[in-house]
Chain A
Amino acid sequence: MNTLLEVSGVSVSFDGFKAINNLSIQIGEPELHAVIGPNGAGKTTFMDILTGKTKPDEGRVIWGERSVSLLEMSESQIAQEGIGRKFQKPTVFEAQTVRENIAMALKNPRRPFDLLFKRRADDAEARVRAISDEIGLSDALDQTSGALSHGQKQWLEIGMLLAQDPRLLLVDEPAAGMSPAEREHTTDLLVRAAKTRAVVVVEHDMEFVRRLNCKVTVLHQGSVLAEGSLDHVTKNQDVVDVYLGR
């Protein structure tokens, strides 16, 4: 397992409030890694920093074999480097069909003229089909995605992430609002995806994290409180205090 992403000494504050405080974390490839923590622990800000939405006040974020810094890149450049993000609230393009949503995410040249003159892989249709099979939406390809159920939208967004074929997948609370059966399906998807790439799941539902059966990092007040297997961290007194002590 090689280190794919290295975050070291990152801090960011909003109006004096330290959302992230000297945070260091390493992600390998392939790896399934869960980040847990109570509300306000800085989970979402952590993702914002990795994807270029928020620029940290200090610290380094180093990516890939060439050890490039992500901090100088725009959101779209980071996405093209291979970091995909799934938001907490499913954000698919509701006015467009499932097929259009997936096709838009497919890894292809991404400049306007590339799209206008159709410079893209010939197997686009096959890839859309393969992904829709994986997320169980192959019968809904021509449906407007706004008409999908909440769980289906979550999957569609995961499908769009897979279509991007990223090296690192950031997933924010994927199981929120899902039925038990849907959760199981989601767990399968993530575990399978993590066989070939790095997957970071942000979650505060311990039960879901237990199913993922992976390395866990506990965030608290913007820094790492504990790291290790779920059993290991749940025995940690600090974690018990933070999670159960109030």
Chain B
Amino acid sequence: MKKKFLVVVILILIISSIIFIILFNKKLNDIKLLSNSIDNDLINIKKEIVKKEEVLKNIKIVNKNQKNSLSNMKNYINSLNEKVKNYEK
């Protein structure tokens, strides 16, 4: 009787260990998948940031040029206004 009990206990322990190892491996796999997914997300978001930094840099240059253009245009309009005033004198 005692022998049988011992065998059952040992069997339970062995089976539990196997189940634990299987579940643990599954968990490790899930972690690996999560890690791969995060790696992909990191790559994608870094690419997106690089693109957007380029876009921002370009639009800042365009806006700076536009500001200069507007200032020059304003000066030109002022000179036209002067000419018109001279004609009216």
A binds B: no
Interface residues of A (CB under 8 A from B): none
